[in-house]
Structure 1
Amino acid sequence: MHWMKAFAAALALAALAPSAAAQDFPPPAKILFASEAAPSAGPPQSFGFYTKGCIAGAEALPIDGPNWQAMRLSRNRRFGHPDTIALIERLAGDAAQYDGWPGLLVGDISQPRGGPMLSGHASHQVGLDADIWLNPMPDRRLTLREREDISAVSVLKNDGTLFVDPEKFTPAHQRLIMRAASYPEVQRIFVHPGIKKAICEDWTGDRSNLAKVRPYYGHHYHFHIRLFCRDGSPGCKAQNAVDMKDDGCGEHLAWWLSDEPWAPAKPVTPPKKPEKPAPKPTRPAYTILSDLPAACTGVLEAPAPSPLPAAAVTPKIPLPPLAPWPEIGPVPQPRPAE
Structure 2
Amino acid sequence: MKAMLLALLLVPLAAQAAEPPAKELFGGQAVPSAGVPRVFGSYAKGCLAGAASLPANGDGYQAMRLSRNRMWGHPDLVALIERLAVAARQDGWPGLLVGDMSQPRGGPMRTGHASHQIGLDVDLWLTPMPDRDLSAGERETLGAVSMLEPGTRRVDPAVFGSPQVAVIRRAALEPEVARIFVHPGIKQALCQAAGTERDWLRKVRPWWGHDAHFHVRLACPAGQADCQPQEPPPPGDGCGEELEWWLGDEPWARPALPAPPPPPLRLADLPASCAPLVESR
SS in 2 for 1:54: strand
Contact preservation (8 Å) 1:39, 1:113: yes
Is 1:57 the equivalent of 2:50? yes
What residue in structure 2 maps to residue 228 of structure 1? Answer: 219
Q: Deviations over 1:146-200 (max 9, x none)?
A: 1001011101001x11000011101000000000000110000000000000010
In the alignment, what sits opposite 1:120?
A: 112
Distance 1:43 1:190 in 2: 29
**Which residue in the other structure is 2:136 paired with?**
144
**Which residue of 158, 172, 175 maps to 1:184?**
175
| One-letter amino acid of the structure 2 residue matched with residue 87 of structure 1 | L
Measure how far apart 1:298 and its partner are: 1.7
Q: Do structure 1's residue 29 and structure 2's residue 26 form an aligned pair?
A: no
Gaps in structure 2 of 5+ consecutive residues = 1-12
- Greater helix percent: which structure? 2
Structure of higher CA gyration radius: 1
* Whole-angstrom CA distance in 2 between matches of 1:268 and 1:247: 33
> 1:289-326 CA distances to partner (integer Å, 9 max, x unpaired)?
111100001222333xxxxxxxxxxxxxxxxxxxxxxx
Alignment of 1:211 onto 2:211:
no
TM-score (norm 2): 0.91
Alpha-carbon displacement from aligned partner over 1:203-241 (angstroms, at most 9, x marks no partner): 226311111000000001110000001123211111011
For 1:28 and 1:74, locate their aligned partners in 2 and report how far apart those are by CA, in whole Å: 22
Which stretches of structure 1, 4 residues or more, deviate above 3 A after TM superposition?
A: 20-24
Establish whether residue 85 from structure 1 lines up as the match of residue 63 from structure 2: no
In the alignment, the residues of structure 2 paired with residue 42 and residue 163 of structure 1 have an alpha-carbon distance, to the nearest angstrom, of 46
Whole-Å separation in 2 of the counterparts to 1:31 and 1:108: 18
Alignment gaps of 5+ in structure 1:
1-19, 271-283, 304-338
- Counterpart in the other structure of 2:249: 259
**For this pair of structures, how many residues does the alignment match?**
268
Aligned-residue RMSD, C-alpha: 1.9
**Amino acid corresponding to residue 239 of structure 2 in structure 1:** C
Listed as ranges, the matches of 1:163-202 within 5 Å are 163-202=154-193
User: Larger deviation: 139-148 or 293-302?
Assistant: 293-302
Q: Which amino acid aligns with 2:207?
A: Y
Q: Contact 1:41–1:302 (CA<8 Å) still a contact in 2? A: no
Partner of 2:240: 250
* TM-score normalised by L of structure 1: 0.76
Identity %: 58
